[in-house]
Amino acid sequence: MIFIIDGSQKSWYSMIGLVNQLTKMVGRSPRPYNRGGAVATGSGPRTAARIFRTVWRKPGISRVDIASSLSLDKSTVTNQVNRLIDLGLIIETEEGEASCKGGRRPIQLVINKKFGRIIGIEVQLGAYVAVVVDLSGEVLGERRGSIELSTENFADSVLGIIAATRAEFGCGDDLLGVGVGIGGLVDSKKGRIRYSIPIGIDSPIDFGKTVADMLEVPCSIENDANCCAWGELAFNRGEDLRDFLFALVEYRRPLTKSLREGIGVGFGVVLGGKVHAGAHGNSGEFRSVFCDGEGKLQLSLREDELARLDRDADVLRRTTDELARNMAMLINTMDFDRVYIGGDIECLDDELPATLLRRLEENWMYPLPKSVDIRYSSLGGKAVAYGAAGMILDRLVSERLLPGLGADPSAATGA
């Protein structure tokens, strides 16, 4: 059948009527016609999850502002907010300012940070860091320890860290999820560790089967630098972060015979508000463009030089400068407007931001000014573990894994 429409409003509505009649003939109900951005009346867990995410991102928002932000009618927002309050996921706080037209002062909504807790873990070859955080991102506890890892004992070791952390901080039924961050090639979607030079894993590990499936709560693994980026996205809720770089720079001490002393670098790349994994899940792996030939060192300095990093000012200066030159090219090419620097490098060198700014200017060939906000992460040595917790929290919200958001309660009643 061929229809010729002249574009007039009469022909347009005639077409809509014809489509509705044809739809009835095949036994289907037509979708509501929404020309001009009419307000939606969604219900169920998907709408509840959208509202929860909005409150999570914008603490103190009112019901009216939620309705406007999500293009939902006020009754839908009221019903879903009341449901979320009954579930204990959000709570009402003090009243906000009344509008210029007067009327009732809006009641502000925030996430109930006491609803549950999340464990974030960074695993290194010789040590680990575990943190317990609430839904607002507040660190409630921290645990550190030494550990000897191998491909064979990796799963049991991580399960042991989780169990010890739960026991120390009393994480029982209120545990919502566990996030784990390690250095190396990690396929976070499939839950697999492909290869890890810093940990010494040279054959794939199925983290999903050997660790995640052993727990009663969601558990995910991610590259350590990507975890740091997740942490900024999940817990830096007052800002609309879109395009930024997280540079994880860690000083590696020789805690074991197989661990080289020196520096470890990884990049967490965020584009359009999402952590960029890359075509093969390898985004963020770093090796200096000044390195020649094969090797496992990330910078062009010799291994014996890197061993003096904490006591040789010239080696530290050259290390910082080489890292800044590499970062400047990437930052200018991708047009990032913010750079976070995390890890424990700040303990050795607080000149990296200034060196990076200078190299950014030298790498920029236009007369127009280049504006990049460079700052140290406030978490220092906890950045990876904290970010792993942020990663799992984002997954709990986006995949509707929080209790009450995964199933439509009206389905059982036929509503």
Q: Residues 221, 249: one domain?
A: no
Residues 91, 108 contacting (CB under 8 angstroms): no
Kindly list the averaged pLDDT for each block of 10 residues, start to end, along the chain of length 415: 47 48 45 41 78 91 95 94 95 71 79 96 93 94 93 96 97 96 94 92 96 97 96 82 93 53 87 92 91 85 86 91 96 96 78 93 93 88 94 91 68 34
Q: How many CB atoms lie within 10 A of CB 371?
A: 8
For residue 133, what pLDDT is reported? 97
CATH number for the domain harbouring residue 74: 1.10.10.10
Q: Residues 333, 243: one domain?
A: yes
Would you say residue 14 lies in a domain?
no
Q: Residues 210, 256: one domain?
A: no
Q: 406: which 2 tokens?
A: 């995964």
Residue with tokens 């991708």: 334
Would you say residue 215 lies in a domain?
yes
Quote the domain boundaries for residue 156: 117-227+383-398
User: What domain count does the chain have?
Assistant: 3
Q: Residues 279, 346: one domain?
A: yes
Would you say residue 35 lies in a domain?
no
Q: Residues 210, 257: one domain?
A: no
Q: Residues 292, 362: one domain?
A: yes
CATH number for the domain harbouring residue 312: 3.30.420.40
Q: Residues 376, 343: one domain?
A: yes
Would you say residue 52 lies in a domain?
yes
Q: Residues 307, 343: one domain?
A: yes
**For residues 376, 277, 158 and 170, what is the CA-based torsion angle, rounded to 10 degrees?**
60
- According to DSSP, the residues that pair with 252 across neighbouring strands are 262
For residue 250, what pLDDT is reported? 86
For residue 32, what pLDDT is reported? 37
Would you say residue 34 lies in a domain?
no
For residue 276, what pLDDT is reported? 95
Q: Residues 263, 222: one domain?
A: no
